[in-house]
């Protein structure tokens, strides 16, 4: 292991995968319980270079021989390179932020900006905004002068940046964007899920927005290129960052099938999952597996309200994990929180099947054709509103699966 990402606890880091994709195959993970262990590692010089993450971006600085001017000004180092026996620290996060704003088309010059959170990422974003001519930069924290109680007084806000963990693997938002009537751009440093609730709200409002994936990959590419100055590994341009971002998005994106019970979601989902080489998950089967009861038994014991509560818990667990094809229950879209979870990592496809073709066996709310038609009429506008795409399924199952694959 010549290179590594270092931090305290890194169970979800994608840095090794990222650097492998950049052509560095000797990259791994090093975790340290405290700053003493960090110092011992730095002094050992066992690695040619490493990326530094929370909580050591400041702690590593006094251990180095030299620090790049940009990293000094920001007050944090995220990349260390052994340059002929001298350890030099850099901050490539700033380049990551620059590319993220560039790709999203968010203009900074002359704009009033708010940064949510006051940690290490805040320092990098503040440096970027001020460097590119922002008119004002306010930092919002829980107990600061500018906080979440008075933040909406900043009525001239045009750019919002989230550097807090709120929204990570959830559908939570740190603030309500709709209250900023002059808003033009939103950047969320979170990259998991692919579309945070904050980014999704921005896009609904017609505001340019981006998550943290471009920043993450770009800072890695820039660090990789620093390593390449002293090692025989390839050097890459910005286009490589965008290529890797697309590859990660494709791998992590869920395909979520919605529609009436009996419309073929499970059969089609399995075919699509096989072709895309993704995991297939049937939400109803997952509910039965977790509860040890059939869907009709749950309805009989707990009623529809009790079933929907269990369905919501399972939908959150499943949909906030990426890389799957998911067949949902017919009524899963009735809960707006389920829909938010579906869209966080996924593209939602509505399978449309005529009411008389819907299977009805073992489905508590589909007792007869008249009941099915009434239910379909009620749910049709909901399916249409939540779906990114609509696909007819009144013919061969394979044909429907092929249509979905063409869309994806």
Same domain for 175 and 305, yes or no, is no
Q: What is the mean pLDDT of residues 193-197?
A: 96
Could you tell me the pLDDT band of residue 366, with boundaries at 50, 70 and 90? Answer: low
257 conformational bin, left if phi > 0, alpha if psi -120 to 50, beta if neither = beta
pLDDT (0 to 100) of residue 364 = 53
**Residue 329 shares a structural domain with residue 346:** yes
Task: Please report the pLDDT score of residue 44 as a whole number.
Answer: 95
> Highest mean pLDDT range out of 8-12, 38-42, 230-234, 352-356?
38-42
Q: Give the DSSP letter of residue 177.
A: G
Check whether residue 365 and residue 258 sit in a common domain: yes
Determine if residue 310 is left, alpha or beta; phi over 0 gives left, psi from -120 to 50 gives alpha, anything else beta: alpha
Separation between Cα atoms, residue 227 and residue 53, nearest integer Å: 17
Domain boundary among 230, 248, 266: 248
What is the pLDDT at residue 326? 98
pLDDT at 360 over 70: no
Task: Return the bridge partners of 49, or none.
Answer: 3, 81
Residue 132 in contact with residue 246, Cβ under 8 Å?
Answer: no
Mean pLDDT of the chain: 95
Run of H or E residues at 326: strand 324-327
Residue with tokens 């199952």: 397
pLDDT digits (tens, 9 = 90+) for 200-218: 999 999 999 999 999 999 9
* DSSP character at residue 366: -
Instruction: Show the tokens assigned to 205.
Output: 């409002």
Q: Are residues 273 and 401 in the same domain?
A: yes
Q: State the pLDDT at residue 370.
A: 83
Query: Which residue did the predictor score with more confidence, 366 or 17?
Result: 17
Give the per-residue pLDDT at 367.
60
Shared-domain flag, residues 106 and 187: yes
**What pLDDT does 131 receive?**
95
Task: Decide: 383 and 259 in contact? Cβ < 8 Å.
Answer: yes
The one-character DSSP state at 390 is E
Most confident of 8-12, 119-123, 353-357, 388-392: 388-392
Query: What is the pLDDT averaged over residues 217-242?
Result: 96
Q: Which residue, of 227, 248, 269, is where some domain finishes?
A: 248
Which pLDDT belongs to residue 311?
Answer: 96
- Place 380 in a pLDDT band, splitting at 50, 70 and 90: very high
Q: What percent of the chain has pLDDT over 70?
A: 98
Active-site residues, by number, are 57
Same domain membership, residue 403 and residue 266 = yes
For residue 266, the domain's CATH number is 3.40.50.300
Counting the structural domains of the chain, the total is 3
Q: Are residues 42 and 116 in the same domain?
A: no
Give residue-wise pLDDT tens across range 333-346: 999 999 999 999 99
* Domain extent at residue 301: 253-407
Please say which residue of 224, 248, 272 terminates a domain.
Answer: 248
Per the structure block, which two tokens stand in for 5?
């990402």
Q: How much of the chain, in percent, has pLDDT values that exceed 90?
A: 91
For 99, the 3-state DSSP assignment is helix
CATH, residue 135: 3.40.50.720
pLDDT-derived band at 369, boundaries 50, 70, 90? confident
Overall residue count recorded for the chain in this entry = 408
Please report the pLDDT score of residue 361 as a whole number.
61
> Do 68 and 116 sit in the same domain of this protein?
no
pLDDT of residue 363: 52
Residue range 147-165, pLDDT digits in tens: 999 999 999 999 999 999 9
pLDDT for 267-321, tens place per residue? 999 999 999 999 999 999 999 999 999 999 999 999 999 999 999 999 999 999 9
Q: What is the pLDDT of residues 47-73, one digit of tens each?
A: 999 999 989 999 999 999 999 999 999
128: burial class by Cβ within 10 Å (0-12, 13-18, 19+)? buried
Nearby residues of 163 by Cβ (< 8 Å), 6 or more positions away:
115, 116, 117, 119, 121, 122, 125, 189
Long-range contacts of the stretch 27-30 (C-beta < 8 A, 24+): 27/1, 27/2, 27/3, 28/1, 28/3, 28/4, 29/4, 29/5, 30/1, 30/4, 30/5, 30/6
**233 and 284 inside one domain:** no
Q: Residue 242: which CATH number? A: 3.40.50.10860
Verify that 184 and 294 share a domain, yes or no: no
Strand 79-83 versus strand 86-90 pairing type: antiparallel
Q: In this structure, are 341 and 385 located in the same domain?
A: yes
Residues 309 and 336 in one domain: yes
Distances (CA, A) of 256 to 100, 208, 273: 27, 25, 11
Grade residue 357 by pLDDT with cuts at 50, 70 and 90: confident
């Amino acid at each position: 292991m010549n290179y590594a990402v270092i931090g305290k606890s890194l169970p979800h880091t994608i840095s090794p995968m990222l650097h492998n994709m950049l052509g560095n195959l000797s990259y791994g993970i090093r975790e340290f319980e405290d700053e003493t262990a960090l110092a011992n590692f730095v002094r050992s010089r066992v690695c040619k270079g490493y990326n530094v993450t929370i909580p050591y971006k400041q702690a590593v600085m006094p251990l180095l021989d030299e620090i790049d001017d940009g990293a000094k000004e920001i007050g944090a180092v995220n990349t260390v390179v052994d340059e002929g026996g001298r350890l030099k620290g850099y901050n490539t996060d700033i380049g990551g932020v620059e590319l993220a704003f560039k790709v999203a088309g968010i203009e900074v010059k002359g704009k009033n900006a708010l940064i949510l959170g006051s940690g290490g990422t805040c320092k990098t974003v503040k440096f970027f905004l001020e460097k590119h001519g922002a008119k004002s930069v306010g930092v919002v924290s829980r107990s600061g002068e500018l906080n979440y109680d008075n933040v909406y007084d900043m009525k001239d806000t045009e750019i919002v940046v989230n550097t807090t963990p709120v929204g990570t693997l959830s559908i939570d938002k740190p603030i309500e964007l709709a209250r900023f009537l002059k808003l033009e751009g939103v950047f969320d440093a979170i990259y998991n899920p692919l579309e945070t609730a904050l980014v999704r709200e921005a896009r609904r409002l017609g505001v340019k927005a981006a998550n943290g994936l471009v920043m993450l990959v770009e800072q890695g590419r820039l660090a990789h290129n620093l390593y390449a100055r002293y090692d025989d590994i390839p050097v890459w341009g910005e286009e490589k960052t965008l290529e890797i971002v697309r590859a990660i998005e494709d791998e992590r994106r869920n395909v979520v099938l919605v529609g009436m019970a009996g419309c073929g979601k499970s059969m089609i989902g399995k075919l699509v999952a096989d072709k895309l080489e993704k995991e297939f998950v049937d939400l109803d089967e997952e509910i039965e597996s977790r509860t040890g009861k059939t869907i009709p038994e749950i309805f009989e014991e707990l009623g529809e309200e009790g079933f929907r509560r269990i369905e919501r818990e399972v939908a959150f667990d499943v949909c906030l994990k990426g890389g799957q094809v998911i067949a949902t229950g017919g009524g899963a879209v009735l809960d707006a929180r389920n829909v938010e979870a579906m869209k966080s990592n996924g593209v939602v496809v509505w399978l449309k099947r005529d009411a008389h073709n819907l299977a009805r066996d073992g489905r508590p709310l589909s007792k007869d054709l008249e009941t099915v038609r009434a239910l379909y009429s009620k749910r049709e506008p909901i399916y249409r509103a939540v779906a990114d795409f609509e696909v007819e399924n009144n013919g061969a199952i394979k044909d429907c699966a092929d249509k979905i694959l063409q869309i994806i």
